[in-house]
Amino acid sequence: MRRPPTTLSGRSARVARPGIRRGLAALALLLAASTALAACGAAPEASPVLRGVSAPPAADPTEINVAQRIASMSLEQKVAALVMVHVPGTDPAAIRSVVDGHGLGGVILMGDNVAGDVAATRALTSALSSDPGLPLLTAIDQEGGVVARLPGDVWPAGRALQSASPEEVEGVFAARAGLVESAGVLVNFGIVADIEIGSGSFIGPRTLGETPEAAAERVAAAVRGEQGRALSTLKHFPGHGASPDDSHVSIPTSSLTLAQWRATHAVPFAAGIEAGAPLVMTGHLRFDSVSPLPASLSPTWIRILRDELGFDGVIVTDDLLMLQRSGDAHFGDPIENGVRALAAGNDLLLYVLPGDPASVGFDVGALVDALVAAVTSGRVDEEAVDDSLRRVLALRRAASAETGPFSDCGLKCVGLSPRARPAD
């Protein structure tokens, strides 16, 4: 398996599963051979002059595989693959029935999915993917400290790391990412890139630095520590610490200007992106001077993340049901919130579902139908959907140990639901 393509992050995002290690070794040999050939050429005066002749660039097997998959997908399949959900419980068949039944792209594990030791969680995650060539994007919140789903996380977290050196922080996150990897989980929603200005912020105990610069050093170190073990996620963009409020039950609001944000809350995110983080999570945070919408629904903030911070990896929303729980009538419909989030430019829509999704007015099939309708009507651009799909599928493909071309494995890979079947 090769190193993930630059579409994951412009800053050398890596997933060192066994296949990727082999791919990196092969790439190194290829570069070394090219250099040796150039060095061993004949003397310049005896060399023929060749003009206008060059070898075509090497084909990228992951990009080819992803392009082939996308070309085979219906619009329903495309938008469904941009949805990640939580399904309660430890029964892999129950989780698979939701994921395969709709062709979803990912699953987030919460506390109720973790029973017993890490080996039990690995047994669960290993039973969730139908297609070995395209593993399901499994994720978990493993920050450590007050936010830890897996047992055995004995390392310091949050404020306890504010006085640690960047080298110590890197070691802590390497160990924690090793725990995540041992549970068979690909993505860790575990790097808090927020800072606390002043005191009393909800997010304060989970932050890694008291100043933008201190947080930036430790955020970058955390990303370096997780590389090769878990896919790092920076959260909660554009910065939860700008407000003291809790986004689980409200829409935290800040009056900071864009210039003030650039000088403060942007700094740790920029450092984490520079270090190679392949995912960024958008928060339900409103900066009134920048956009009237929460960042998770704001095209303005997505543009800033892409264009100003140069991030070209996967943008995942925070749990979209949190918007509904804020009590703001504008965000009372969880399905409409998903459409807004995709239209804004997020790549992956996250829903932490309860045991009965209907109790919060949600249905996975209805969401997929609404997303299809939004694309068909032009509210969501299909080219943008394809771009998001390329980023998400590239993450999933890079996590496999396979490099061959796409081969449709039929219903055993896409589930038995008519919704998940390839278009005629």
Listed in sequence order, the residues at least 6 apart from 91 whose beta carbon sits closer than 8 Å to its beta carbon are none
* Token pair 């409103």: residue: 286
- Distance between CA atoms of 252 and 241, rounded to whole angstroms? 9
- DSSP type of residue 2: P
Catalytic one of 153, 194, 245, 318: 318
* Token pair 């469904």: residue: 80
> What's the burial of 359, exposed, middle or buried (CB within 10 Å: 0-12/13-18/19+)?
exposed
* Token pair 């792209």: residue: 105
Asked whether the bond before 236 is cis by omega within 30 degrees of 0, the reply is yes
Query: Would you tell me how many other CB atoms lie within 10 Å of the CB of residue 103?
Result: 24
Q: Are 135 and 70 in contact (CB under 8 A)?
A: no
Per-position DSSP letters for 36-95, written without gaps between them:
HHHHTPPPGGGS----S--PPPPP-HHHHHHHHHHHH--HHHHHHTTEEEE--SS-HHHH
CA atoms in the 13 A half-sphere facing the CB of 175: 12
Active-site residue, 194 included: no
Catalytic one of 91, 112, 117, 248: 248
Cα–Cα separations (whole angstroms), residue 30 to 3, 119, 292: 14, 38, 51
Query: Would you tell me how many other CB atoms lie within 10 Å of the CB of residue 16?
Result: 16
Q: Are 124 and 392 in contact (CB under 8 A)?
A: no
Active-site residue, 318 included: yes
- Distance between CA atoms of 115 and 126, rounded to whole angstroms? 15
Q: Which residues have a catalytic role annotated? A: 248, 318
